Structure 1
Amino acid sequence: MLFSARKSTIPKTAAVLAILAMALTGCGGGSPSASDGPVTLRFSWWGSDVRHKMTQHLIEAFEAENPNIKIEGEYGDWSGYWDKLATQVASQDAPDVIQMDAAYLGEYAGRGALLELKDVNLSKFEQAVADAGKVEGEQFAVTGGINAQVVLANPALVAASGVSIPDDSTWTWEDYNKTAAAITAASANGVYGTGAVTGDAATNLWLRQHGKKLFTDDGKLGFDENDLKGWYEYQADMRDSKAAPPASVTTEDATASVDQQGLSTNRYAMAWYWSNQLGALSKASGQTLEILRPPSTDGSAADAEQYYKSSMFWSASSRTKHPAEAQKFIDFLANNVEAGKIGLADRGIPGNSEVRAAIADKLSPADAATAKFIDEIADELGDAVPVPPAGSSAVVEVIGRYALEIHFDRMSPAEAAKKAMEEAKSALL
């Protein structure tokens, strides 16, 4: 699938973040001790109406257990959330507890806007999941839900082609290309073995399996031109084998809504998505899609450098007057079994392994399959992915754009890698 994630609103907030940089100079956190009397916390989040209602139930459950703490909700949709938050932080009026996204975590933590969460229990989180909320070694966020990059397969299209998919715990990138190409060749016109494999998560898996990564822990590029050339050579192989659709089809797919993309409309036998999208894609396609591991370089899932992606995080403002209570609320959201039964998989599969087990029989079939997969790959995980640095979204766009140039056959892998590296380096300056 061509990179087509949520459109970033970072450019919109640039001016406000400039103000934020000045406003936060010298700011510090409040006292870690609990207050003696009643406390009111403001809590902000984004999401659908369903999420708003569910979150209100979470608040009510917490308040029932903690009668001295009142939670005031502030919510909205994704498009306006970050501009509002940036303005609030810059004017020193941030909510006490904040639903946070990886794209913004490094920015806010780096500017001193977030509280270090020393009192949230992460003992039931896989280490990589716990570490995903760290910035420069300090815990500024706690995972609210986890996903993993997966290959989703349409069993009807695979069966119709007569091609067998290899064991997903042992297949390689070459196997993936050959399998998809064979499905394309054996299928009706307009049906392809796979959607394009050009997204940032796929790129990162490839790099990690080759000893590199998209970004380093200190916010630099974690790869060089030769690494990118190798990735683009794989794109050329998929183009030439016809495993993936023509670039013109890929371009259209990238701008289509999820329910109109190739996997949803039964035109792709396989495609790369995040695991939490299984339910929506199965519903749209009318198929019970199968969830598979991505391939590895050496045919070993244990060496595939798979990782959990935090679908979102919980953070607290560094200026909260009630840091103990804010962390108590975050601990409830992350670790309380009853909270897990309320939230289920709305924000992703719970990061706490005990909560995952407690809600397993309450999940929808698709979410249950996702949770099972998440547990199955727990011992196959590589290191946590570093929090993306400022400018990361521009780097991701550059890498995807030049991958498309390969699929259009307008550049060689070497030419595309050279150009992409030049732009990527500039994006992080």
Structure 2
Amino acid sequence: MIFRALKSRTPKIAAVAAALALTLSGCGGGAQSDAGGPVTLRFTWWGSDVRHKMTQKLIDAFEAKNPNIKVEGEYGDWSGYWDKLATQVASQQAPDVIQMDLQYLGEYAKRGALLDLKEVDLSKFDKAAADAGKTPDGQFAVTAGMNALVVLANPSLVSASGVPLPDDQSWTWQDYEKTTADITAKGKAGTFGSGPITGDASFNLWLRQHGKSLFTPDGKLGFEEADATSYFEFQAGLRDAKSVPPASVMTEEASASLDQTGLATNKFAMGWLWSNQLGALTKASGQPLEIKRPPSTAGDAKSAQQYYKASQLWSASSRTKHPKEAQQFIDFLANSVEAGEIALADRGIPGNSEVRDAIQSKLSPADAATASFINDIADEVGDAPVVPPAGSSPASEILTRFVTEVHFGRLSPEEAAKKSIEEIKSGLS
């Protein structure tokens, strides 16, 4: 399971959309900065106490270099962040600089709430990392940290089964199914070759490898019913081969905390996660987990359409009175080696390649391995996926639910494809 963090987002995003729809129609470009004199920026983010303290160090470092700019922090935890931000934006009291999430970016950008970040330097970003915050209308966000969809493998469980893993640069989806089925059959009792493969990321990767996409730039579905049927047929194959656990276990997995998942508790030999989860899962499992590329249709990593995903992003309000200074602060966060040495991998692996190289030796072993992987696949990644359009947020939950229905045998792949498309389209409309 790779999207447990999204389980609670759907109602929040619906509330955000409703609040934004009330008053954002008049949003336009940012007002001009006051001429001369000191400037105060409001900056909002979510996170743990550790992140709050680290972010204050970033603010202090920026203010030391820019004595005429003061940055006031406004922060909290995830649960109340988006409701508060939606209220602030709707009442025209938005913070100047905003820690943004990809699932909300399309909604805020569409409503005119975000500034086009034309003055932030993205020349040291890989194109895919730079484009992660871009919509057809502008660069409304800058990657704060990068992830990649990966397969995490538990070498201890793989070794106990006696099943060799194929080369991850050339294995196919069929290789993955067979290998994980063999591990289930030959491994320790009560263990499985793979955890569930659910959510929108794996589906989007499947589509990209078949020349399609989850969404199009104009906010429509980028695939047909036949494409979804083939994916659900793959899921049925995993079920029949016993590559993955039974549907009842998959259901439990979906609601488990990260440290209680099958990979963390040494029940799954492999699992589909985001690369930045390597450290937490390694610690929880007590095993030196390894990063592997996801399989491909053609058996060729360079045509696998792997992609970078922004773990978090930086945005600015379209109503800021200080657009120049807001972008100056974002540029510091994104491009300063000093900022990189303070933040390290807290918000993901830096998008700026020079910053990434500069902090490599300072990272924890797990984060260093993640950074190395991000660098290793740089010439393999395809174009950045389309920023999810407004109304698309339920897609991951919908796909997960219908995958589970297929694994229970309650729906055929054809039925799951038809019904899931109907639900996703309903949200987009």
TM-score (norm 1): 0.97
CA shift for structure 1 position 28: 2.3
Superposed, 1:381-392 pairs within 5 Å as 381-392=381-392
State how far apart, in whole Å, the 1-side matches of 2:358 and 2:205 are: 31
State how far apart, in whole Å, the 2-side matches of 1:378 and 1:103 are: 24
- Paired residues of 1:29 and 1:323 also in contact (CA < 8 A): no
- Paired residues of 1:2 and 1:250 also in contact (CA < 8 A): no
Equivalent position amino acid for 2:138 in 1: E
* 1:237-272 Cα deviation digits (max 9, x unpaired): 101111111111111111111100000000000000
Further displaced range: 125-134 or 30-39:
30-39
CA shift for structure 1 position 132: 1.1
- Paired residues of 2:142 and 2:314 also in contact (CA < 8 A): yes
Q: Which runs of 5+ in 2 are unaligned?
A: none
CA shift for structure 1 position 81: 0.3
Superposed, 1:146-165 pairs within 5 Å as 146-165=146-165
Counterparts in 2 of 1:215 and 1:77: CA distance versus 1, 3 Å: same
Aligned to 2:283: 283
* 1:151-187 Cα deviation digits (max 9, x unpaired): 0000000011001001000000000001000100001
State how far apart, in whole Å, the 2-side matches of 1:6 and 1:360 are: 29
Superposed, 1:210-289 pairs within 5 Å as 210-289=210-289
Aligned to 1:111: 111
Superposed, 1:17-166 pairs within 5 Å as 17-31=17-31, 35-166=35-166
Percent identical among aligned pairs is 70
Q: Partner of 2:393: helix, strand, or coil?
A: helix
Aligned to 2:323: 323
Question: Does structure 1 residue 310 correspond to structure 2 residue 330?
Answer: no
State how far apart, in whole Å, the 1-side matches of 2:165 and 2:192 are: 14
Superposed, 1:182-201 pairs within 5 Å as 182-201=182-201
State how far apart, in whole Å, the 1-side matches of 2:14 and 2:421 are: 24
Q: Partner of 2:25: helix, strand, or coil?
A: coil
CA shift for structure 1 position 383: 1.1
State how far apart, in whole Å, the 1-side matches of 2:272 and 2:386 are: 21
Counterparts in 2 of 1:296 and 1:260: CA distance versus 1, 3 Å: same
Aligned to 1:6: 6
Q: Partner of 1:356: helix, strand, or coil?
A: helix
- Paired residues of 1:151 and 1:272 also in contact (CA < 8 A): yes
* 1:185-208 Cα deviation digits (max 9, x unpaired): 001221000001122111111111
Further displaced range: 391-400 or 16-25:
16-25
State how far apart, in whole Å, the 1-side matches of 2:27 and 2:238 are: 51
Question: Does structure 1 residue 400 correspond to structure 2 residue 368?
Answer: no
State how far apart, in whole Å, the 2-side matches of 1:247 and 1:14 are: 29
Further displaced range: 294-303 or 393-402:
393-402
- Paired residues of 1:17 and 1:90 also in contact (CA < 8 A): no
State how far apart, in whole Å, the 1-side matches of 2:34 and 2:383 are: 35
TM-score (norm 2): 0.97
- Paired residues of 2:42 and 2:95 also in contact (CA < 8 A): yes
Question: Does structure 1 residue 208 correspond to structure 2 residue 208?
Answer: yes
- Paired residues of 2:34 and 2:321 also in contact (CA < 8 A): no
CA shift for structure 1 position 31: 4.5
- Paired residues of 1:130 and 1:143 also in contact (CA < 8 A): yes
Q: Which runs of 5+ in 1 are unaligned?
A: none
Equivalent position amino acid for 2:264 in 1: S
CA shift for structure 1 position 113: 0.8
State how far apart, in whole Å, the 1-side matches of 2:399 and 2:36 are: 53
State how far apart, in whole Å, the 1-side matches of 2:169 and 2:207 are: 19
State how far apart, in whole Å, the 2-side matches of 1:41 and 1:234 are: 50
